[in-house]
Amino acid sequence: MSQHDLPLTAVQHGCGCGDADHGAPELDVRSIPHAIRHATVFGAMSAIPAGGSLVLVAPHDPKPLLAQLADRESPITVTYLDEGPEAWRLRITRA
C-alpha cells in the first residue's frame, strides 16, 4: 500500500460554517496490515501540526498504540468518540 492509497478522509465538523479546515482527517486502519499499522499511524501523526487532530478508526481499543504515540510525539490528548464493538473511533490531538 503506497502513501497515496492510505484510507484517509476529511471529516466535517458540525458548526455548519462550511469551513472544512475545522475537520480532522480520519485514518481507518482496519484495512491496513497489522504488521505496518502502528508505523502508518506514526507517519500520519507526524503530519499533524501542534494543536491539530487525527481521528483514528481501529478494530479494537488501541491502548498499546496510544502508549507508543505518547512516548514518540509531543503531548497528546485522546478523546474516545466510539468504543466498539466493531470499531473504535478516537480523536488524537497534538499539544
The tens place of each residue's pLDDT in the chain, 95 residues long, gives 444 454 544 444 454 444 344 579 999 999 999 999 999 999 999 999 999 999 999 999 999 999 999 998 678 999 999 999 999 999 999 98
Share of the chain above pLDDT 90, in %: 71
Residue 20: predicted pLDDT: 40
Residue 4: predicted pLDDT: 47
Rounded distance, CA 76 to CA 69, Å?
8
